[in-house]
Amino acid sequence: MPELLGQQEFVSVPSYRLMSVRDYENDAGVGFEEALDRSQTEFVASTGYELVVNCASDLTPVAVRLEAWSGRPAGDDGWSVPQVFELECPTGLMVISIPTGGGVDLQLPAGRGIYAAEVVHRGREEKVTETYRVRMWLVDELPEYDEDDD
């Protein structure tokens, strides 16, 4: 049975209704416009390097909880249908942030690699705190980068 290895929560008023989750070393711009467009209809999209969350409100605080797991955790009630993506994480240091600054980070215990990221939400339609949860677990090693290949 998978175990929760760590978690971090970030609460903020999301400027432009956006929040992102990415590895510290990933370029936040690669594929961003396309992911932003997809997040308008799906609430979340991925560039393969970054998750883009389109929040329902930019007037009230929104909570995002990032969880690191030893494997895929079991689902639970009270959340939306999970959206699952794979992210390349060259350091394993994940950053949750908003476009105008501010954020928190969480070091994934398994370090660098390719991670599954399961994203769910609740409270988008109700008059309660809008909350997102991102569960991540290692699914594969990240190939070594060889500067000689350039």
pLDDT band at 146 (very low <50, low <70, confident <90, very high): low
Mean pLDDT across 52-76:
93
Higher pLDDT, 148 or 145: 145
Question: Is the pLDDT confidence value at 120 over 60?
Answer: yes
Q: Report the chain's mean pLDDT, rounded to a whole number.
A: 91
Q: What is the pTM of this model?
A: 0.90
Q: What SS3 class is residue 121? A: strand
pLDDT at 114 over 90: yes
130-140 vs 113-122, strand pairing mode: antiparallel
Task: Using CA atoms of 26, 31, 34, 35 in order, give the dihedral in degrees to the nearest 10.
Answer: -20
Q: Which fold has domain 4-143?
A: Substrate Binding Domain Of DNAk; Chain A, domain 1 (2.60.34)
- Give residue-wise pLDDT tens across range 5-38: 999 999 999 989 999 999 999 876 778 889 999 9
